[in-house]
A and B are shown apart, each in its own frame.
Chain A
């Protein structure tokens, strides 16, 4: 099996540390890489939600339980605390109302993991400041007019949103060049961030 993408690997490791056989909901599960790893390595009972029917088909044909659905609307159908963990990897910035999606994650699960590209990374800032154009970077490779990212967010923004929603940040990972970096100056230095939250 191919290695998990770095943000997904951090989430998988953390879930494995906290609970074997956990119930997990992966919102925006893509081709199901995290789901498959959680099932294989940690005996987790995983469900996925994915918007793209081609990716859903790929998941179902590899034996994963994935529902074609929309993070903006379809989380409402899950009962409260139906899961131990809910995962939203690189999807928050594509939703209509990230604040409401975060609420829903913390409603359906005890613990939520959220990963996103950090818009305050120095490369992004420099591109905007000196180029005067919407940044196209490693983490944000698509032009402004065709990107799915409609709500760009920074590490500091996310911390503020979590505080406003009364969610405790229980762990945080930051990445640059696909490697973990320390928390100091993360809002400048991190290309990607992963947060673990609970209420």
Chain B
């Protein structure tokens, strides 16, 4: 099966994913209601008779449901094939793995590129969503699939935020909660980088206040710059130095111009333009907004900025495991420890380990034997 052809601006249904139409309108944190939402998802491994072996995987900002199958647009292998599959740490011979595209995204679930009831794309009329709204969509999917209790919920980065949100807001739905390279709140620095990305998109003349779906050109330049900036935050200085150093790209001397003289520039440009092939700029605005709004303690308090994170997990019976990476400066170890301390305060069963890896935030996606053993042992 070869990859389907690359789709143009409207990327509502790019892949062969299963689609679940939500039975009920989705009531959102903003007070708005999303009618007729659909969730696109993939599954791997068989669901057992009593539906007790399901593992929900939550994807990251620009991730999707293609965990262990080829991406329909890029044709590349799934984003976590090294972790999920027969005999892998998340073993699909034993577990039924579900991964759904979050609402607001652009890989088949309802988002700003989807067609609104009036027959036109939502664009910026799409309601602003939160991490908890994404999880509401996921829980509605589980309801639709008849899965009451997950064997585990697993996620890295933004997927980890969804995982924590599910554990806090739907404490009966998961027995095990595995959170990799994530945080319970977005920091000022996290918000700042996202704002940079959003401004790059909105400053692109092709953005057209979000109404570019019928146009000849998309805000690709803005989206590419947003991706380049974000990509830097996913890597470590050590990793960049090791991979690129100050080496020049396809030349022996500096050009005294503004081409991509350095390998690192060339790499970032490639990452940026490649990203525009598979991602919708408006989805990037909405999802980064949702991440910036995320503050799990605040959800369990009376007012903005307040709350004790421990209150989010009061009375939980799930087992938790958090993993951070020593070179991750996007969601550094201190953020994971913050969650661990809150869980300690509620006497929850929690494990935590900081692993050493030089790839920064992206380390959770890359080969790491210790990570494999922790994931396998925890998911068991």
For B347, give the chain A residue with the smallest CB separation.
A82
Check if B350 sits within 8 Å of A53, measured CB to CB: no
A59 to B351, CA, bound (A): 9
Write the chain B residue with the least CB distance to A78. Answer: B344
**Would B352 and A63 count as touching, CB distance under 8 A?**
no
Q: Which residue of B lies closest to A53 (CB)?
A: B353
Min distance, Cβ A76 to any Cβ of chain B, angstroms = 9
Cβ-based interface call for B355 (8 A): yes
User: Is B33 in contact with chain A by the CB < 8 A criterion?
Assistant: no
Whether B351 contacts A56 by the Cβ 8 Å rule is yes
What sequence of 0s and 1s flags, for each residue 34-62 of chain A, a beta carbon within 8 Å of any chain B beta carbon? 00000000000101000001101101111
Q: Choose from B353, B354, B356 the contact partner of A60 (Cβ within 8 Å).
A: B353
CB of A62 within 8 A of CB of B351, answer no
- Residue pair B354, A57 in contact (C-beta under 8 Å): no
Given the known inter-chain contacts A61-B373, A62-B377, please indicate yes or no for A56 contacting B353, CB distance below 8 A: yes
Query: Measured between alpha carbons, how far is A90 from B271 in the docked complex, in Å?
Result: 51
A71 interface contact, C-beta 8 A: no
Interface positions, chain B 24-45, Cβ under 8 Å from A, are: none
The reply to whether the CB of B340 lies closer than 8 angstroms to some CB of chain A is: yes
A57 to B321, CA, bound (A): 11
**Cα–Cα distance between A82 and B236 once the two chains are bound (Å):** 38
* Beta-carbon contacts under 8 Å, B336-364 to A: 340-341, 344-345, 347, 349-356
How distant is B109 from chain A, measured CB to nearest CB, in Å?
Answer: 33
B319 interfacial by beta-carbon distance below 8 Å? yes
A68 contacts B by Cβ under 8 Å: yes
Q: A77-B341, A79-B345, A82-B347 are in contact. Are A53 and B354 (CB under 8 A)?
A: yes
Interface membership of A109, Cβ < 8 A: no
In the complex, A105 has a CB within 8 A of chain B: no
A65 cross-chain contacts in B, Cβ below 8 A: 319, 349-351
Would you call B376 an interface residue if the criterion is a C-beta within 8 Å of the partner chain's C-beta atoms?
Answer: yes
A residues near B340, Cβ cutoff 8 Å: 67, 69, 77
Contact string, B313-351, partner A, CB cutoff 8 A, digits 1/0? 000000101000000000000000000110011010111
The answer to whether B351 touches A53 (Cβ under 8 A) is no
Identify whether the interface residues of B are mostly helix, strand, loop, or mixed: mixed
B89's nearest neighbour on chain A, judged by CB, is A61
Q: How far is the CA of A83 from the CA of B354 in the complex (A)?
A: 25
Contact indicator A63/B380 (Cβ below 8 Å): yes
Q: Taking the complex as formed, is A66 at the interface, i.e. its CB lies under 8 A from any CB of chain B?
A: yes
Q: Which residues of B contact A62 (CB under 8 A)?
A: 377
Q: In chain B, what residue has the closest Cβ to A76?
A: B341
Q: Indicate whether A77 sits within 8 Å of B353 (C-beta atoms), given known contacts A60-B377, A60-B378, A63-B377.
A: no
Q: Are the CB atoms of A53 and B356 closer together than 8 Å? A: yes
Cβ of B255: which chain A residues have Cβ within 8 Å of it? none
Cβ of B370 within 8 Å of any chain A Cβ, yes or no, is yes
Chain B, Cβ-Cβ closest to A64: B351
Q: With contacts A57-B373, A61-B377 known, is A68 near B354, CB below 8 A?
A: yes
Residue of A nearest to B341 (CB): A77
Q: A53-B354, A57-B353 are in contact. Are A67 and B370 (CB under 8 A)?
A: no
The answer to whether A77 and B344 have CB atoms under 8 Å apart is: yes
Q: Is the beta-carbon distance between B378 and A78 smaller than 8 angstroms?
A: no
The chain A residue with its CB closest to the CB of B355 is A53
Q: Does B191 contact A (CB under 8 A)?
A: no
Give the contacting residue for A78; candidates B321, B345, B354, B376; CB below 8 A: B345
B374 interfacial contact with A, CB 8 Å: yes
The distance in angstroms between the C-alpha atoms of A82 and B355, with both chains bound, is: 28
Q: Report A-chain residues with C-beta under 8 Å of the C-beta of B378.
A: 60-61, 63
Q: How far is the CA of A47 from the CA of B356 in the complex (A)?
A: 23
Contacts of A63 in B (CB 8 A): 377-378, 380
CB proximity of A125 to chain B, nearest CB, Å: 40
Residues of chain B with a CB closer than 8 A to A67's CB: 340, 344, 350-352
Interface residues in A85-140 by Cβ distance below 8 A to B read none
**B376 cross-chain contacts in A, Cβ below 8 A:** 61
On whether A77 and B374 interact (CB within 8 A), knowing A60-B321, A60-B353, the answer reads no
> Using Cβ atoms and an 8 Å threshold, which residues of chain B touch A66?
351-353
Query: Measured between alpha carbons, how far is A23 from B319 in the docked complex, in Å?
Result: 15
Cβ-closest chain B residue relative to A61: B377
Q: Is the CB of A61 within 8 A of B344?
A: no
The residues of A that contact B354 with a CB separation of less than 8 Å are 53, 68
B340 → A minimal CB distance (Å): 6
Docked-complex contact A60 and B347, CB < 8 angstroms: no
A47 and B352 in contact (CB under 8 A), knowing A57-B374, A60-B378?
Answer: no
CB distance from A9 to the nearest CB of B (A): 25
Q: Which residues of chain B come closer than 8 Å to A61, judged between CB atoms?
A: 373-374, 376-378
Give the residue name and chain of the A residue nearest to B370 (CB): A57
19 A-B pairs within 8 Å (CB atoms) are namely: A23-B347, A45-B349, A56-B351, A56-B352, A57-B353, A59-B351, A60-B351, A60-B378, A61-B377, A63-B377, A66-B351, A67-B352, A68-B352, A68-B353, A77-B340, A77-B341, A78-B344, A79-B345, A82-B344
> What 14 additional pairs, Cβ within 8 angstroms, besides A53-B353, A78-B345?
A53-B355, A54-B370, A56-B352, A57-B370, A59-B351, A60-B351, A60-B353, A61-B373, A61-B374, A61-B378, A65-B350, A67-B340, A67-B350, A79-B347
